[in-house]
Chains A and B, each alone.
Chain A
């Protein structure tokens, strides 16, 4: 299977940079999966789980917002905040919800308020679904 370069970076550090076969990304308009030779593409992310498949190994990371850019070189995810999914316990989720709620409290326009409310709903979805730890 053809692989491509994948990078996951948060403002504080580079979390992962390697060749991947298949990466599933939580886009703001729905999840999508990137394979090698994907068309150039930029999207905003929603809070969710990124799953990376390389050969037979599978890794997953929780990301809170950010961007994904696919170009000829590969896929780059710029996450506002990222955490290996294994470390995402109920405590971390509660913290995430608190952050999202603070953003809601800070929102000044209807648009940002709607966005923040949507974020909270997404995080609660993750909690309800229970994160699959590989």
Chain B
């Protein structure tokens, strides 16, 4: 009667949830929708199936459900506008409010039209940039491990890679295997549409000034780690050379290059909150840098979660660039992908200095221990969290620098050169 395979496929995609979201919220939302559609509008169910299958490649019909009295729909304990709910479930897990959505022109029953029925076809809305949006907080449901920890069943991928195959590295540890290619299938429109607001017209035939990056990561140090407490920088910056490094809350004084103990850093202006938080850093985080392809993984070793803001990682998943990802104990996530950075740099280098310079943001990764920040938290800004670090990735920075130096100066006048 209904093609449940399609629905199953959809639920497989739900790899992320918002921080305060019920474990089964998205599933419940889908169940609710199915029931509504079966009851009111069986044709629409097929339309929805079709829309989800072609992912915005083709024109699709409206999928409507009746509008409730206050316009909102309750799923589990959460009440929200129906089109926001289904856009979030099917396309953008980081979506926070209807201010970030705009209906396409073809949509006859869009939310703004205020009709009795409301269209919830996720491909009838596009993402717009809303100002003053707090960073959304997302939690991965699956773990992405660095390649050396891949179990034997997946070792063939590595073998293929060693034999020169260009198989993408981000093999997933979860029961659902998905690679970077699948990522792009999953979210191509999400990424594209988020970019349209700042897209430039590139005249054809403009040469790119991309510098080959083969030598970039032969440097000894691959990152610099700076530790902060609230809005204060604490201790010396640490340059990292070991490819796996643990940043923990203990006081191990031996500096063997594979560990940074935050317990050693002293700060005379430390308050009780910071002290308390430092006690909960515990085993902290393990960072694994894969030198061969420049990707970085973070695994939470602490009993308390860590919170990561990496605009590269957000780009890969098609999230809002400021999204904060919550990583729970033992969960691992790829937080930087050099291949994506390379593609972006190639793209931006055609757009000029400012666009490329903006990529600098991707080379900084911020990570808070124990306490989170963002839309769902009291703390709106990382500089309000008690213990956090910033990681500067050297290879992409050096590479970006090389590209920038081959370009002309910025169109914005630099008033002072020192």
Answer yes or no: are A and B bound together in one complex. no
Residues of B that sit less than 8 Å from A by CB: none
Residues of A that sit less than 8 Å from B by CB: none
